Amino acid sequence: MKTVTRFAPSPTGNLHIGSARTALFNWLFAKNTKGKFLLRIEDTDKVRSTKESIKKILDGLKWLDLKWNDEIIYQSLNQLRHKQVTEQLLEKGLAYKCFCSEEDLNKMREEAKILKKPFRYNRMWREKDPKDAPQNIEPVIRIKAPIKGESVIDDIIQGTIKVSNEEMDDFIIMRSDGTPTYMLSVVVDDCDMNVTHIVRGHDHLTNTFRQNVIYEAMKWDKPITAHIPLIHGPDGSKISKRHGAIDVEEYKNKGILPNALINYMLRLGWSHGDDEIISLENAIKWFSLEKIGKSPAKFDNNKLISINSHYIKELNNNRIILFLENYYDKKYKIKLDKISIDRLTLGLDDIKSRSRDLIQLAEMSLFYCSKFPLSISKKAQKYIKKVDKKVFKDLLIVLENIENDFKKQKIEEIMSKFLTEKGLKLSDIIQYIRALLTGLDVSPRIYDVMEILGYNEVKNRINKVKIDG
């Protein structure tokens, strides 16, 4: 039997990090077993579902390169099929019309409250004749859930779980307006899509027990389930906005690489020994649902940054240049010319080794392509002390002697000799020079920067930036 997994998001917001991890696990399992990974958009909630959310979900999956097989299934287009199944259940006597009024339901809620029990529908219309129904109420349709015994789920991750059927109620499968509920739609669609494995969050476990009632009523084969523990923040609570970024688009905008986020999400609840950096090739080869832990995974932003730093170091420079062209154009209206690209190409390896994300890399590289006046950061400004202007004029004169051989070794040699003659140390002026040449308080080694910029650019930057003192 060919493995078929699916990712079935509700388009009511952006692609959450937890949902993205669910998509990843489904995708990896399908790849590992040479099966199919399907995408279904559960857009039956017309009030909350939006085209914008659908686009963001699709964009997020594409950015992560989680490619799905076959055409996208839109659940809202399957409502006729959902109604057909509902009619079959009614004909078999496995579902019934419930004519409860809101007053009836409120009474049940009040009774449950008094008894300090969770609210459950009391099945008052389960055996009643619809002929006795009030004329002014449009009925909902409820499934006949088992009353006695227990229901069992053998879950790949959570193991064997048992629930007394007394805790189940006859849940609604069709609303009074004729639209199917989530419980019914999911089961019908999964069956029609030939889904063999349902991999989803632990918060769906209760849903699985309910959905199994429909599978059993229709005599359909139940998919194998794997319920993934939720992602928690560092404080142990369910991850939320207060813990920082929680959706894929935010991480993209923060300069996180897609393969870094994939790598980190993989390690949230799944492991392969002590391996932290796992290539996509190895992830596919090594992945199994059995290796997913039962306990909630804790999101650690520092680990994500560490993994991202690793992937930035390995990133092709041509790809970075393309990113920088777009980033500088959008943010600073800077068009990269050949000189800027050449400088960036020479300086990127060093800056990559210092960068935690693409945004930091872009800001640290900006000085290579900045036009005058050079913007000096607040942190860099605090290092600028009163320095005798003549020191820099004399330094430029000395450096002019190697204008045609402006290499870092020569620059270091000349500057060391110059400072010794002036009775100065490099530390006396290094931060000042760094601020003038880069606008930053931290940069690549200053001699490397000077070589890449070239003598004329160094001279221009020292002369054209206002020096106090």
The pLDDT mean for the chain works out to 93
pLDDT tens, 126-159?
Answer: 999 888 888 889 999 999 999 999 999 999 999 9
Residue 466 has pLDDT above 80, yes or no: no
Query: What is the per-residue burial (b if ≥16 Cβ within 10 Å, else e) of 411-440?
Result: bbebbeebbeeeeeeeeebebbbbbbbbbb
Task: Tell me the H-state helices in 177-246.
Answer: 182-192, 205-218
pLDDT tens, 194-243?
Answer: 999 999 999 999 999 999 999 999 999 999 999 999 999 888 888 876 66
Residue appearing with tokens 């290796």:
291
User: Rounded to whole angstroms, how far apart are CA atoms 200 and 7?
Assistant: 8
Give the single-character DSSP code of 172. E
| Residue among 383, 389, 366 nearest 469 (CA) | 389
Residue 385 has pLDDT above 60, yes or no: no
Q: Which amino acid is at 433?
A: I
CA-CA-CA-CA torsion sign (285, 289, 295, 297)? positive
User: Rounded to whole angstroms, how far apart are CA atoms 364 and 373?
Assistant: 17
CB neighbours (10 Å) of residue 410? Answer: 15
pLDDT tens, 296-351?
Answer: 999 999 999 999 999 999 999 999 999 999 999 999 999 999 999 999 999 999 99
Residues contacting 94, CB < 8 A, separation 6+:
143, 144, 217
Residue 434 has pLDDT above 50, yes or no: yes
pLDDT of residue 376: 79
